[in-house]
Structure 1
Amino acid sequence: MTFSQIPIGIRYMILSAFGFAIMAACVKWASKSGIPVLEIVAARALVSLVLSFLDVKRKRLPLFGHRKHLLVARGVVGAFALMCVYYSVTTLPLAEATVLQYLHPVFTAILALFLLKERLHLPTLVCIAFSFIGLLVIARPAFLFGDSVQDFSMIAVGAGICGAFGSAIAYVLVRKLNETEDPSVIIFYFPMIALPISVLLPGDDFIMPTGWQWFALLCVGIFTQIGQIGLTRSMQTETAGRATAFSYLQVVFSVFLGWFFFGEIPVVFTWVGGGFILFGALINIFWRKSPVNKQ
């Protein structure tokens, strides 16, 4: 099969996965060059704010939406989740940080049970079990594996988990907001809230970017938008199950980018733990209840 024969929705999702993987690599690149995490968040928010503002104006939508309290809550939660994600990307190998983000479907299912009164079906429960095992294998806590096996900060792992949990909260809020708000307005609120938070929060001293640092920060914003556009178009032109399955190519891209640009080679624990998490997620996507034969 040639690339042109792949359904358009799948192609968009591959583009989305590649865009988000490049974005994460650029975040790590900017951090290694000396740019603080909060400054990277602010740069990404600034680019996204301009692009999303133009999109809202192009559609002639009310800029501030209708359910402002939920829109602000989505922006605040999303901002802190992004900070956690970027911190994990800058302190963990790219592959590990990316795999941890795919815990968010588990958190989303649990939150939806309590907040949206949605039932947990058997495939979701299996996904939760596999994801928990995978998380333990990747994190390698000392009380299970011993101090000699744990070779990176549990704070960084915790930040990645918090980022996934925050993403899940934001996703649940988006599902509520979709009842009354246009997606472009929801997207606009995220950088509008994230920009002042990332500027005002205390952190490392501001560093004026130079040369390649400007380019890295610009790429963070651009490839974020590419990822978002690919994701949106994919969901519009392909069934959610098939499209979501191909989003996991981001892990493959991240493994390659981590090796190619940063010399990171995932250890066996990452492969095994990541396999558990991804396998659980795919079970949740593709497992369908068998039809009951009626006599």
Structure 2
Amino acid sequence: MGVVEIPRDAEAADTQRGVVHLVVAAILFSGLSVLAKLVGARVPLPEVILVRSLVTVAFALGTLARGDIPVWGKRRTMLGLRGLFGFIALACYFYALMHLPIADAIVIHYIHPVFTLLLATVVLGEALDGRETVFIVGCFVGVVLVTQPQALFGAEATSADPFALTVAVLGALVSAGVYVLIRELRATEHPARVVFYNALVASILSAPWAATTWVAPEPREWTILLAIGGCTFLHQQSMTYGLHLVRAGRATALGYVQVLLAMLAGIWLFGEEVDRVAWIGAVILAVSAAWLATDRKPIPPRA
């Protein structure tokens, strides 16, 4: 029997749906950042991770039950690795945020689309064309100009903690592994199951950590924590659906939209000031991300 080919128009439509999911995921992640900033003034980070993971587990189980979808899946080792990699990437990112200037940590973290592109090319055979590569580079340049890390814009670059820098780069590399794993799992595993494993592993690993620093949340803080859990589930679900439909390298580049949204949130909600260089970076970032989001070229067949 011959291979049934999907019409290119259908592939392009799937790509556009995937882009919508990824942009929604970026918006949700920006909302998560705002909520975490609000609750993080008193509630320790491991506690935030634990509560959001437990809430996500509950939502994912509910989704699987409604669809009568088996919980544990076929490729359990890879699903577990996706959860482990996700937890390591998150821990590395937050460690970098605590020990490096915020802008430096963000810029290093957003090297991960480059790592993702390299891994996806080798593991999945998903090479990008020249135009996509140019606009991914444009996104990264925009992030650098928006965040203006001290390593490039300040005089204190030599004071950066070498271990924290190493952890930040490790987090970016592991993040790339997360995206490639999600793409690899798309053929056999339902997105809600992938989200479930990620949250379950994070719950197990963060529980002992949270127990050592536990602070009883106030009613308002419980509301925010539960909202973080709900947003986390929706973010993970949207990101996973998007990665089922969009090449890994391009999909991770669309995550750069989060930086732009975080900048706007900082202006509107926290009264942060933005200089001319940052606005130039925001324009470059917006244009590059918009091109990646609107290009209708479908995913090429896997070799």
- Answer yes or no: same fold by TM over 0.5: yes
Aligned residues: 279
Gaps of 5+ in 2: 1-15, 298-303
2:31 maps to which of 19, 22, 31: 22
- The secondary structure found in structure 2 opposite 1:60 is coil
Residues 155-180 of structure 1: per-residue CA shift (max 9 Å, x gap): 88877665554332111101111121
Task: Check whether the contact 1:75–1:189 (CA below 8 A) recurs between aligned residues.
Answer: yes
Task: Check whether the contact 2:192–2:237 (CA below 8 A) recurs between aligned residues.
Answer: no
- The secondary structure found in structure 2 opposite 1:130 is helix
Deviation, structure 1 residue 200: 2.5
Distance in structure 2 (CA, Å) of the matches to 1:213 and 1:110: 41
- The secondary structure found in structure 1 opposite 2:73 is coil
Gaps of 5+ in 1: 1-6, 290-295
In structure 2, the partner of 1:4 is none
Judged with a 3 Å threshold, the aligned counterparts in structure 2 of structure 1 residues 227 and 279 are, in CA distance, closer, same or farther, namely: same
Task: Check whether the contact 1:74–1:173 (CA below 8 A) recurs between aligned residues.
Answer: yes
Task: Check whether the contact 1:95–1:266 (CA below 8 A) recurs between aligned residues.
Answer: no
Q: Which moved more, 1:162-171 or 1:247-256?
A: 247-256
1:225 maps to which of 212, 230, 233: 233
Residues 48-102 of structure 1: per-residue CA shift (max 9 Å, x gap): 0000011112222221111111000000011222334456678899999778765
Deviation, structure 1 residue 20: 2.5
The residue type paired with residue 39 of structure 2 is A
Distance in structure 2 (CA, Å) of the matches to 1:73 and 1:186: 10
Task: Check whether the contact 1:107–1:168 (CA below 8 A) recurs between aligned residues.
Answer: yes
Within 5 A, what are the aligned runs for 1:132-211? Answer: 133-134=141-142, 137=145, 138-142=147-151, 144-147=152-155, 163-201=171-209, 205-211=213-219
2:63 maps to which of 41, 55, 60: 55
Distance in structure 1 (CA, Å) of the matches to 2:104 and 2:80: 30
Judged with a 3 Å threshold, the aligned counterparts in structure 2 of structure 1 residues 277 and 103 are, in CA distance, closer, same or farther, namely: farther
Asked if residue 35 in structure 1 is aligned to residue 55 in structure 2, the reply is no
- The secondary structure found in structure 1 opposite 2:215 is coil
Deviation, structure 1 residue 22: 1.7
Distance in structure 1 (CA, Å) of the matches to 2:193 and 2:229: 18
In structure 1, the partner of 2:7 is none
The residue type paired with residue 19 of structure 1 is L
1:118 maps to which of 123, 126, 135: 126
The residue type paired with residue 29 of structure 2 is F
User: Equivalent pairs: percent with the same residue?
Assistant: 31
- The secondary structure found in structure 2 opposite 1:111 is helix
Distance in structure 2 (CA, Å) of the matches to 1:62 and 1:168: 27
Within 5 A, what are the aligned runs for 1:194-273? Answer: 194-201=202-209, 205-228=213-236, 250-273=258-281
Distance in structure 2 (CA, Å) of the matches to 1:146 and 1:274: 20
TM-score when normalising by structure 2:
0.70
- The secondary structure found in structure 1 opposite 2:40 is helix
Judged with a 3 Å threshold, the aligned counterparts in structure 2 of structure 1 residues 114 and 12 are, in CA distance, closer, same or farther, namely: closer
Deviation, structure 1 residue 201: 3.8
Judged with a 3 Å threshold, the aligned counterparts in structure 2 of structure 1 residues 271 and 104 are, in CA distance, closer, same or farther, namely: farther
Residues 254-291 of structure 1: per-residue CA shift (max 9 Å, x gap): 223223333322344544445555555455555689xx
Q: Which moved more, 1:145-154 or 1:249-258?
A: 145-154
TM-score when normalising by structure 1:
0.72
CA RMSD for the aligned pairs? 4.4
